[in-house]
């Protein structure tokens, strides 16, 4: 599971590149997350990063998950959150901790996988929304999808509404599309 820390780093890098490509008009673009625009998904992601960092370090995040974490500088807010995130996940004992999140208390490796999923999937949500799927890390999307399937799937997380029902994909599609479909995201057929 030590590899998951490297995967979190890759997800932060890919999502950071995607966030850097979001222009002001792009913040209002609809995403594959039903009823959420890019700003809402990004705010949720930045809030989640801060909450995970606080849970791992035993500190107070300072705000609720859906508070305004972005202010007037969404790109700067993501970059600052990513820096904090890297610092806490790279502590020598990060995977030894029990992390208390909204899903309950999770062992460090499970919490890291949940966090990786949040950062990567929401980054891809944004990439698709701004028509920049080329910025998605397809290799990492494929790795995460394989991990989810090897663990027996995510059906237990579909019931509480965390993920929607799996969406069928036809033909050969990139890994980011397969991952989004697996977690229940409808993606326009115009998007590669």
pLDDT surpasses 50 at 91: yes
58, 154, 124, 68 alpha-carbon torsion, rounded to 10°: -40
CB atoms within 10 A of CB 38: 25
Q: Which of 153, 121, 152 is nearest to 136 (CA)?
A: 121
Answer left, alpha or beta for residue 10, where phi above 0 means left and psi between -120 and 50 means alpha.
Answer: alpha
CB atoms within 10 A of CB 83: 12
pTM: 0.93
Cα–Cα distance for residue pair 35/155, rounded to 1 Å: 22
> Which pLDDT value is given to residue 189?
47
* Average pLDDT, rounded, for the chain: 92
Cα–Cα distance for residue pair 138/80, rounded to 1 Å: 25
User: Dihedral sign, CA of 167, 172, 177, 183?
Assistant: positive
> Which ranges in the chain belong to alpha helices (H)?
3-20, 38-57, 74-89, 108-129, 138-150, 155-158, 175-182
Mean pLDDT of 52-62: 92
pLDDT tens profile 100-110: 888 789 999 99
> Which ranges in 61-161 belong to alpha helices (H)?
74-89, 108-129, 138-150, 155-158
């Amino acid at each position: 599971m030590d590899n998951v820390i490297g995967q979190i780093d890759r997800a932060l890098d890919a999502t950071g590149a995607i966030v850097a490509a979001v222009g002001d008009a792009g913040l209002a673009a609809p995403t594959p997350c039903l009823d959420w625009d890019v700003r809402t998904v990004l705010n949720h992601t930045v809030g989640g990063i801060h909450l995970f960092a606080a849970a791992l370090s035993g500190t107070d995040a300072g705000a609720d998950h859906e508070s305004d974490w972005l202010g007037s500088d969404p790109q700067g807010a993501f970059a600052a959150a990513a820096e904090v995130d890297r610092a806490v996940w790279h502590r020598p004992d990060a995977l030894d901790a029990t992390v208390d999140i909204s899903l309950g208390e999770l062992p460090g490796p499970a919490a890291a996988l949940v966090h990786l999923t949040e950062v990567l999937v929401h980054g891809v949500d944004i990439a698709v929304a701004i028509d920049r799927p080329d910025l998605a890390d397809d290799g990492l999307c494929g790795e995460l999808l394989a991990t989810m399937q090897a663990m027996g799937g995510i059906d237990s997380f579909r019931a509480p509404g965390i993920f929607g029902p799996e969406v069928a994909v036809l033909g050969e599609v990139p890994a980011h599309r397969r991952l989004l479909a697996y977690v229940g995201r409808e993606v326009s057929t115009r998007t590669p």
